[in-house]
Amino acid sequence: MNKRLLWYPVIIGVFAALIWVILQKGQSLPVNALPVTPKVPVAAAPEVHGWWRYLDNLKHPLGLLLLQIIAIMLTARLFGVIANKLRQPAVVGEIIAGVLLGPSLLGWAMPGFSAFLFPAESLKNLQFLSQIGLAFFMFIVGMELDLNKIRHKAHDAVMISHASIVVPFFLGVWLAYFLFTRFAPAHVSFLSFALFMGIAMSITAFPVLARIVQERKLTHTPLGIMAITCAAADDITAWCILAVVVAIVNAGGLLSAVVTIALAIVFVTVMLLLVRPWLAKITEKQLAKGKDKAAVSLILFVLLISAWIAEVIGIHALFGAFLSGVIMPATPIKKVLTDKLEDVSVIILLPIFFVFTGLRTHIGLLNQGDLWAVCGMIMLVAVAGKFGGSTITARLMGQNWRQSVSIGALMNTRGLMELVVLNIGFDLGILSPEIFAMLVLMALATTFMTGPLLDLVAFSEKRSGLMTAKSL
């Protein structure tokens, strides 16, 4: 063993000596007298000496991007921990962190530092990374949905879910009628604006809701099962409606919209009826042979192809990513994929999306009292439609008032999914910066109020139990 250890310094020493000899010999080689002229003239970079060159390296696209990711992760983690301390889901703190890193606080308080950390030319890189993270996240959301449970659930769950969509959708369209003239961007039709306002009011954040149910140990209770089933059905329905809305907006005409919707229906049908059983069969064979990596590669390939087809059709890549998750077979590899992709997307890439959204959110634009009144009206309509519609429908379906209010509070959670929809609308030029900022604040407020409402219901139930015990 000692002889083997001796070989290490011998090999390293011999070759290090040979390298030194060659370098010394190379010093005596004649230097070319005539400079080699490059075929394409390139402007010489100014020579930088001393510590300033390290500061200059910070402005390099890769160095700047890494610095941005570090700042985003630290801030998101800090506010996520604070949110948990306040009995809020971490996503609420991360969304707040994103808004604070934008022009609403950092850009206002430290404009020079904000311009250095998030220059306009770097936003494309952040947007690209955030879209990749969202695609993975929507894939995970799709995998978490159990179509069999939804298919075999009682009629009241589907009824509550669809009522929690149609009521706020109607109120959103109604509100758009009064906001269109003042707040719609130029050349945007009322149909596009109204449909997007409707869908913005109708979204429920299924992942956030599921995590709240899990954290409060409600997963196996009748309330938890009902809420998750309603949210899952809500998610599928809302995303299908969103795909139709995006198709209509992108098409620009009735005939083009019909063609796009028809292609979308064919795409969904093929994915559910053909790709799903084929994928289950192939992955089962690969797993049986121990080819786990081949199975993962195939699944990721289906994810990318599905997202690409959805983008080409005109219903947005995120819908394709979501659909590819829905059709994933129930194999052990599903759990492995969820764990691996969720860590990367939730810890690194999703905070980038929150900050990118925050960089677009200019709360300072709401600098007049009437704008804050409009913002309050949007929040009132959002809560009345989603919370009120779900609560009343749940009561009509036979739930008691406490369970109905709890279901309404959970369905009123919008969180990340609302931001995804808002960014799609902003990218399509349907939402103005003012309306975008108001809707982001609405998403924050409705998500934040979920915990306190559930606590209030729990307190009421506990107090009622104590009063009953005393009377006995």
Token reading at 107: 């850009």
Look at residue 11 and tell me if it is in a domain: no
Contact in structure between 212 and 413 (CB atoms under 8 Å): yes
Residue 43 inside a domain? The answer is no
Q: What is the pLDDT of residue 48?
A: 47
Q: At residue 364, what are phi and psi to the nearest 5 degrees?
A: -60, -20
For 223, half-sphere exposure in the C-beta direction (CA atoms, 13 angstrom radius) is: 24
Q: Report if residue 30 sits inside a domain.
A: no
Q: What pLDDT was estimated at residue 454?
A: 87
Residue 209 is assigned to a structural domain of this protein: yes
Domain tally, the chain: 1
Whether 80 is in a domain gets the answer no
Q: Which residues contact 98 (CB under 8 A, 6 or more apart)?
A: 76, 351, 353, 354, 355, 356, 357, 358
Inter-residue contact 272 to 327 (CB < 8 Å): yes
CATH number for the domain including 96?
1.20.1530.20
pLDDT at 377 (0 to 100): 94
Residues 355/72, Cβ–Cβ less than 8 Å = yes
Return the pLDDT at 43.
44
Q: Is residue 451 part of a domain?
A: yes
What are the DSSP calls for 110-169, one per residue? -HHHHHHHS-GGGHHHHHHHHHHHHHHHHHHHHHH--HHHHHHS-HHHHHHHHHHHHHHH
Residue 267 included in any domain: yes
Q: For residue 157, give its domain range.
A: 85-112+123-455
Residue 335: C-alpha distances to residues 91, 228, 332 (Å): 22, 19, 6
Q: What is the pTM of this model?
A: 0.76
Task: Note whether residue 155 is domain-resident.
Answer: yes
pLDDT at 469: 55
Average pLDDT of each block of 10 consecutive residues along the chain (472 residues)?
62 74 72 53 48 60 86 90 85 86 86 86 84 84 69 65 86 90 86 88 80 73 78 76 80 71 87 90 85 85 91 82 85 77 80 85 83 92 91 84 88 84 88 91 89 85 65 56
Per-residue pLDDT, 45: 45
